Amino acid sequence: MKFSYNYWQNDINNNPLFPFYVYPFRSENATLHWHEEFEILYFACDGVIGIDRNFIHVCKNDIFFINKEQLHSPRIFSDELCYAFAFNFNFLSFEKKDFCQELIDSLNSGELWFPMKLSPDDKLYESVHKNIIDIINIYDSDYLGKELKIKISLYNIILSFYHENRLIAQNNKSTPLDRHLDYVRSSMKYMEDNYSSDITIDALAKNVNISSYYFIKIFKQITAITPIEYLINLRLENAALLLQNSNDSIEHSAYKAGFNNMGYFVRKFKEKYNVTPKQYKKNLRGIIQNKK
């Protein structure tokens, strides 16, 4: 599951002249997910984040960098507003093939990675934090030339890490962990593309050319949940999006999300969102009416 992917991925695709998105979030407990885009996460409160197989405590004002295709899952512990920036490094490309473009190419290809975490006690923090706050403050404003200012801030962040030799060269040699992460990413993509259809463990294992037993074992080692638990959660999140963004009935939304048993759908939905689908839809209507 791509973190809030349904929101910002469409925004990036629908704005080819400026494919960059800032997503504010709070009280988020995201499913483990990945995406092609580079992501910066700025936390205004404590929490925890899983990145690949690392689980890291998050302190207020920490900044995390999610490199291309890294599995990750943020969880925050309060209603403080946090921010995610998502973009592809091609967004920062130059027409001329000079040193700057070579650096962007290395970041885009994954030859160079950003370090995982930047804390307030790091000497780079003040500069990077200032640029992040500048982007947050200007992103939704009417500032003339804000697109140029946002790009300048992103270049400044890259410069800070490059100047201090803090970008990390990646070893292209494949390890067993790399292969296991590839299995999980591939199976997640398969589920994202086919969640409304009948999906079996055998089909998921066949998709990555390993046995069903080995597939279940690897998936749970990486994600801490079973493939079926992941699939159910993915379907629930897509059902919630349908309830938010369409006029479909609850039954039709459940069916489109991959649920064939309404009693099971209602029970699992309430377990995840603490309300029934009917109450969830009613609450959304109340929020919309209050905004008018």
Interval 258-274 mean pLDDT? 95
Beta bridge partners of 33: 72
What's the Rg (C-alpha) of the chain?
20
Does domain 176-291 fall into CATH 1.10.10.60?
Answer: yes
SS (H, E, C) 73-113: EEEECCCCCEEEEEECHHHHCCCCCCHHHHHHHHHHHCCEE
- CA–CA separation, 114 and 162 (whole Å): 9
What does the DSSP assignment read for 61-76?
T-EEEE-TT--EEEEE
Q: Are 214 and 220 in contact (CB under 8 A)?
A: no
User: 10 or 140: which carries more pLDDT confidence?
Assistant: 140
- H or E segment and range at residue 291: helix 277-291
Per residue in 91-100, pLDDT tens? 999 988 899 9
pLDDT at residue 155, as a whole number: 98
The mean pLDDT value for 265-278 works out to 94
CATH number of 5-169: 2.60.120.280
Contact 239, 265 (CB under 8 A): yes
What tokens were used for 215? 């597939």
Mean pLDDT of the 113-133 span: 97
pLDDT at 269 over 90: yes
Alpha-carbon gap, residue 175 to 73, rounded angstroms: 22
In this predicted structure, the answer to whether residue 288 has a pLDDT above a threshold of 70 is no
pLDDT at residue number 244: 87
Q: What is the pLDDT of residues 16-42, one digit of tens each?
A: 788 999 988 876 567 788 888 999 999
Inform me whether the pLDDT recorded for 5 exceeds 60: no
Domain ranges of the chain: 5-169, 176-291
Give the pLDDT score at 144: 95
Question: pLDDT for 182-241, tens place per residue?
Answer: 899 999 999 999 999 999 999 999 999 999 999 999 999 888 899 999 999 999 999 999
